Amino acid sequence: MEEFEYGIIGGGPAGYTAGMYLAKQGHSVVIFEKDKIGGTCLNRGCIPTKSFLHSSEVYAEVVNSSKLGVGFDNLRLDFSKVVEAKDKTVDRMRKSLELAIKNSGVITIYAEASVKDKNTIIAAGEEYKVSKIILATGSKPRELKGLETDGDFIKNSDDVLNLQSLPKSVLIVGSGAIGIEWARIFSNFGVEVVITEMAERLIPIADIEVSKRVERIFKQKKIKFYLNDSIEKIEDRTVTLKSGAVVNPDFILVAAGRTPVCPDVSDCSVLGDACGEIQLAHYAIHQAKALTLGIPFDKTLIPSVIYGEPEIAWVGLREQDCDDTCQKKMLPLTALGKSWCDDSTEGFIKVIVKDNRIVGAHIVSKEASSLVHILLTAIQKKLSVDDLKELCFAHPTYAEGIFELLMNL
């Protein structure tokens, strides 16, 4: 029976981060992974989706480039190459991660594992003795009653990554990050997209003005969406919504989020998606750092990003969370020279301020995924608006929009 100080079940962001930092501190660590190192993020989420998204954006930009003086004859889309690029990106990153884990001294066992007791893990018929167990068993796509996935007409976010050809039309159920990003991917490739959302607006967890702007952008892109609506019935691949609308998609993508996968075991630390808190890779990574290195982080200040053009990012309080003591200020991207140069003027930078300090930030803009961290730093370190006004932002940039916004407060 092999013995280790730490046994980690799950090789996703939480598991491999915890394992490598523990190993670097001199602890003996074994990770059990039943599938592939990297978890949902690398294999079935963030990375492959962003590869598809990048390809779709390049294609859409080329299709619409004539107004910028760039023309193409005989433009064609080879989706097999799109899939190949996605697979190469994932494989390259996985091999790099596997090498980093190996070099850190962590032992990886590729087998499904179960907990026998608080000091014993069983995998592939073998028992492993450990002093402590960390569960980082991840999550799986959430299924909706009546919309159980069959991998054919009803697909989940795992299934859609295995597409070998593009549909002509698709119905997306749900408008969270998964639904919005896939709507953008398909739309960029010329697929007819319809979204159904049970809430009264798209991206219901976002600031209300972010939702309104995304709805406007989607209308411009001819992405149809039905709010306060859901699927009533499906007959012969004809979908009828409760509103009475009829849709005939090639398939349905159920983008209803993910549900934790975690064995009911006591005396174990639980990290990442499995803990049922915030299901984001960066949250899982910081959980692991807090556990292994003692680095604290504020769980109320976890930035959210939805990728695509334009990017959507936010952190802190939303407008609908605030009372009369808060002040909001918004700068349209049309105020920035960089947005005109990039032909990317649709969006805004918005802050919510209380007692001369920023308490919320909401951005719809190119580079929003980076810009939000400037404001996150200000919020977490409790910098005043006057402190930020002393910073010199380069011109022309999107970041200078933050400075211009604050100067108007």
pLDDT in tens, 208-248: 999 999 999 999 999 999 999 999 999 999 999 999 999 99
Q: Please, is 145 exposed, middle or buried when counting C-beta atoms within 10 Å of its C-beta (0-12, 13-18, 19+)?
A: exposed
Here the tokens at position 93 are: 């990153």
- Closest Cα to residue 109, out of 13, 41, 37, 162? 37
pLDDT mean over 36-64: 96
pLDDT band for position 291 (50/70/90)? very high
Cα separation, 330 vs 217, in Å, equals: 18
* pLDDT, position 409: 87
Apex 158 CA angle, 138 and 284, nearest 5: 25
Residue 390 CB-density burial (10 A; 0-12 exposed, 13-18 middle, 19+ buried): exposed
Q: How far apart are CA 269 and CA 26, in angstroms?
A: 19
DSSP string, 319-351: GGG--TT-EEEEEEGGG-HHHHHTT----EEEE
Q: Is the pLDDT assigned to residue 65 strictly greater than 90?
A: no
Mean pLDDT of 379-390: 96
The arithmetic mean of pLDDT across residues 325-345, rounded, is 97
- CA–CA gap between residue 113 and residue 231 (Å, rounded): 38
pLDDT at residue 271 in the model: 97
Classified by CATH at the fold level, domain 304-407 comes out as Enolase-like; domain 1 (3.30.390)
351/372 Cα distance (integer angstroms): 10
Mean pLDDT of 156-168: 96
d(CA 355, CA 317): 14
Can you give the pLDDT at residue 67? 85
Q: How confident is the model at residue 68 (pLDDT cuts 50, 70, 90)?
A: confident
Residue 107 DSSP class: E
Residues of the chain with CATH 3.50.50.60: 2-140+258-293, 154-254
Of 208, 399, 221, whose CA–CA distance to 308 is shortest?
221
Q: Which long-range contacts (CB under 8 A, 24 or more apart) does 93-97 make?
A: 93/38, 93/42, 93/47, 94/36, 94/37, 94/38, 94/42, 94/43, 97/16, 97/37, 97/38, 97/42
Q: How confident is the model at residue 71 (pLDDT cuts 50, 70, 90)?
A: confident
Structure tokens at 370: 């980076």
As a whole number, the mean pLDDT across the chain is: 96
Mean pLDDT value of segment 342-369: 97
pLDDT at residue 110, rounded to an integer: 97
Q: What is the pTM of this model?
A: 0.95
- The tens digit of pLDDT for each residue in 96-138 reads 999 999 999 999 999 999 999 999 999 999 999 999 999 999 9
Mean pLDDT of 252-256: 97
Q: How far apart are CA 394 and CA 397, in angstroms?
A: 6
Range(s) of the chain covered by CATH 3.30.390.30: 304-407
Residue 53 C-alpha from the chain's centroid: 12
Out of 3.50.50.60, 3.30.300.210, 1.10.1750.10, 3.10.150.10, which CATH number does the structure's domain 2-140+258-293 have?
Answer: 3.50.50.60
CATH of domain 154-254: 3.50.50.60
Q: Indicate the SS3 state at residue 255.
A: coil
Identify the pLDDT of residue 211. Answer: 98
Q: What average pLDDT does range 34-51 have in this prediction?
A: 96
Write the CA distances from 74 to 144, 185, 191, integer angstroms. 43, 22, 19
Residue 386: the pLDDT is 95
Confidence at residue 66, expressed as pLDDT on a 0 to 100 scale: 84
Write out pLDDT tens, residues 190-206.
999 999 999 999 999 99
Backbone angles phi, psi at 83, to 5 degrees: -65, -40
